[in-house]
Amino acid sequence: MVSSVFQLQCSCNNYPWGKKGHESLAASLCAKTPNTGFEIDESKEYAEMWMGDYPVLPAKGLKSGEELHKIVDDNKEQLLGKTCIDKFGGVVPFLPKILSISTALPLQIHPNKELATQLHKQDPEKFTDPNHKPEIAIALGPFEVFAGFKDNNDIQALFSALPPLERFLPRKDVNFDNEVLKQVCYKILTASDEEIRTTQVELAKIPKEKYGKQAYIVDLLPRLQEQYSKEDPGNLVALLTMNFLSLTAGEAIYVPADAPHAYLSGNIVECMARSNNVLNTGFCPRADADSIELFTSALTFSTHNAEEVRLGTSKTEKSMHGKTSVYAPPMSEFNMLKTSLQDGEKETIRAIGGPSVLFATRGSGKLVADGDTHDIKEGYIFFVGQGVEVSYEATSGLDVYQAYAE
């Protein structure tokens, strides 16, 4: 029988939007786990460290070297518990990651369950599972992101005040609603390179005051053009129709399935339902973009202002000493605990009725669980099976995130 608590080793992918070498927090944290053979190459970008049982980039048991999905599959009842198995099947239903973002990720949505099932049947190599992928992102420092649509009134104000945008309207004097917004997004995404370039050149010549409270567009436009090009339609969709948020450490967002988003810069904790499905349509070469018809038809409008995107924290009954808060998105697959301790402080997390993955992003201390004491340091990652109480004692100020399902 496997131990219910064991340390994990993880790895990073190398998407070009990641940060290079030791500038990447994802890579730096990944390299902290001892005896893994992971070495940072300063010439490579390191984008994401995955910490789940998804088979694309699976975590492994540090001692055994066995992939986490195999360990879980062989010990389902012990590690997941009957409730979790009945609810989600014999897998860890969430996928936590650390992301280090240097340039904008592709403008994307994640299909809902119905569409994901359909796409998986049609193309299982590209859409590798039939699940949806709502997600949260928690800032570990300054974090810039486009997420969800702006209020229709704010979009209306731009398209009324800026003549170059008239070419994308379905008709003159239109009042923006969700259907008009979908049509406008489609027209932008299907416009020619020349139309997109001309529009961006014309927008750059308009005085900043014409943009009203959305004058940040003028500053962000050349930055996006430098990262991609003046022909990228994602520049216009993001700047004109989507919320732009600049978050600080601890602040978070929730992105439901089918909501558009593009992370722009920063280091974050990300956690999502167990899926790897995505539809990209901007901030990428046109040849790499997915079907625009599919993208726009799948859009939903569940978030329609910046405040609806934000995800706050609250106290949690799982904390015994009040040092832990919870990010609880409106979905069933997971919540995320954050424990913050100063030197010498202690915390105990009550037993959870499902699996969890915990990882330290700062400091060091001791972790006591299932009768054993473990060192826990910045970058260390542990799997914790259902029904296990976990205690921490900080040697040096300690921040621990714990994604869990029950």
Q: Is 90 exceeded by the pLDDT of residue 216? A: yes
Kindly report the average pLDDT of the chain as a whole number: 95
226-267, pLDDT tens digit by residue?
A: 998 999 999 999 999 999 999 999 999 999 988 999 999 999
* Residue-wise pLDDT tens digits, 91-118: 999 999 999 999 999 999 999 899 999 9
Tens-digit pLDDT profile for residues 302-330? 778 899 999 999 999 999 999 999 999 99
DSSP string, 282-329: ESS-GGG---HHHHHHH---S--SHHHHEE--EE-TTBSSS-EEEE--
Q: Give, for 398, the enclosing helix (H) or strand (E).
A: strand 390-404
Q: CA-CA distances (angstroms) from residue 157 to 135, 150, 186, 238? A: 30, 11, 19, 16
pLDDT at 237: 97
Give the pLDDT score at 290.
85
According to the model, what pLDDT value does residue 187 have?
Answer: 97
* Residue of higher predicted confidence among 288 and 130: 130
Put simply, whether the predicted model's pTM sits higher than 0.95 gets the answer yes
> Which segments of 199-309 are extended strands (E)?
242-247, 252-255, 261-273, 279-282
Alpha carbons 312 and 138: distance in angstroms, whole number: 10
Residues 325-329: contacts with CB under 8 Å, at least 24 apart: 327/136, 327/138, 327/252, 329/134, 329/136, 329/254
Q: How many CA atoms lie within 13 A of 29 on its CB side?
A: 33
Q: State residue 201's pLDDT score.
A: 96
